[in-house]
């Protein structure tokens, strides 16, 4: 079993999941990922909650796509759950309900009230209750040393700085956002305006080379320049896509960010 948010399912996460699959083969058991929704900090300290790299539905698809996860369980996180001790969580949920034989986590893992269930504590509980604990170093993912340990926090930091190309190296794919279309104009050229959800991680105001697809139509990805901006009055984050695919107000569109757009690609 592995436990965590797995936000973005980046290269570091996939190192953990590869070890999880190894342990599954060792014991002849299916592999299970236990994740949470919402993010614990969104419950305990909403003002400090991180903007997410992937919404829950996309996170589950990305986990399944690794091929290393047989079952993924989503545990609702609330104030009551936050008060549960690490030992109670292990005994009642991980052992009592899920019959865990081995735990595979990142080296910065912690669970239970006050994050008391760190790797050292979990190993002590494992010795007492008969399960193995494997902690994977954050820097074990094969990424350029310049970016440091591969983590969701590091990926968010790169995206917030506008370096979406570097973020894609940690994710091993372009960063993706899903937004709702708020306005459509056809004159003088087709353009879409969409709002970025407040809880999702997005790059700052600038022009980005990327791609767009309409989830309703099921059409493929279309190359596009994505103009990120902020409404000065409401402080909402908005994105404009020109020469875009056909869409209607309310449609969900997905955006992929490849790099900063070249000056010749930018529009007013």
- One domain, residues 23 and 136: yes
Which residues, given as ranges, of the chain have pLDDT below 50? none
- 151 found inside a domain: no
Of the candidates 222, 259, 258, 260, the residue with the CA atom closest to the CA atom of residue 241: 222
What is the predicted pLDDT for the residue at 155?
A: 95
- 167 found inside a domain: no
What is the predicted pLDDT for the residue at 50?
A: 98
- 225 found inside a domain: yes
Range of the domain at 223: 175-265
Per-residue b or e along 15-43, where b marks 16 or more CB atoms closer than 10 Å to that residue's CB: bbbebbbebbeeeeeebbbbbbebbbebb
Please give the Cα distance from 20 to 134 (Å, whole number): 9
Q: How many domains does the chain have?
A: 2
What is the predicted pLDDT for the residue at 144?
A: 55
Backbone torsion region of residue 243, taken as left when φ is above 0, otherwise alpha when ψ lies between -120 and 50, otherwise beta = left
Could you read off the pLDDT of 20-53 as tens digits, one per residue? 999 999 999 999 999 999 999 999 999 999 999 9
What is the predicted pLDDT for the residue at 115?
A: 95
What is the predicted pLDDT for the residue at 95?
A: 98
Could you read off the pLDDT of 63-106 as tens digits, one per residue? 999 999 999 999 999 999 999 999 999 999 999 999 999 999 99
- One domain, residues 196 and 80: no
What is the predicted pLDDT for the residue at 239?
A: 96
Q: Which pTM was predicted?
A: 0.93
What is the predicted pLDDT for the residue at 62?
A: 98
Task: State the CATH number of the domain containing residue 95.
Answer: 3.40.50.620
What is the predicted pLDDT for the residue at 148?
A: 73
- 152 found inside a domain: no
């Amino acid at each position: 079993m592995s436990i965590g948010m797995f936000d973005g399912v980046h290269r570091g996460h996939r190192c953990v999941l590869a070890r999880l699959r190894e342990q599954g083969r060792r014991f002849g058991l299916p592999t299970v990922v236990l994740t949470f929704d919402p993010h614990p900090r969104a419950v305990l300290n909403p003002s400090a909650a991180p903007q997410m790299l992937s919404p829950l539905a996309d996170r589950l698809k990305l986990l399944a796509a690794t091929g290393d996860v047989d079952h993924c369980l989503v545990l609702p996180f609330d104030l009551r759950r936050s008060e549960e001790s690490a030992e109670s969580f292990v005994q009642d949920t991980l052992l009592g309900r899920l019959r865990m034989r081995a735990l595979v986590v990142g080296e910065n893992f912690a669970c239970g009230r006050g994050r008391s269930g760190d790797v050292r504590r979990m190993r002590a509980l494992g010795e007492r209750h008969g399960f193995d604990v494997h902690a994977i170093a954050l820097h074990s993912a094969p990424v350029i040393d310049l970016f440091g340990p591969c983590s969701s926090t590091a990926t968010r930091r790169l995206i917030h700085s506008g370096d979406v190309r570097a973020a894609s190296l940690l994710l091993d794919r372009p960063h993706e956002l899903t937004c709702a279309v708020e306005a459509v104009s056809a004159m003088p050229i087709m353009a879409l305006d969409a709002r970025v959800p407040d809880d999702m991680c997005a790059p700052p105001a600038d022009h980005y080379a990327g791609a767009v697809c309409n989830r309703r139509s099921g059409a493929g990805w279309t190359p596009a320049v994505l103009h990120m901006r902020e409404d000065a009055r409401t402080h909402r984050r908005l994105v404009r896509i020109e020469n875009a695919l056909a869409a209607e107000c309310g449609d969900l569109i997905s955006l992929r960010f490849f790099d900063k757009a070249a000056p010749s690609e930018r529009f007013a």
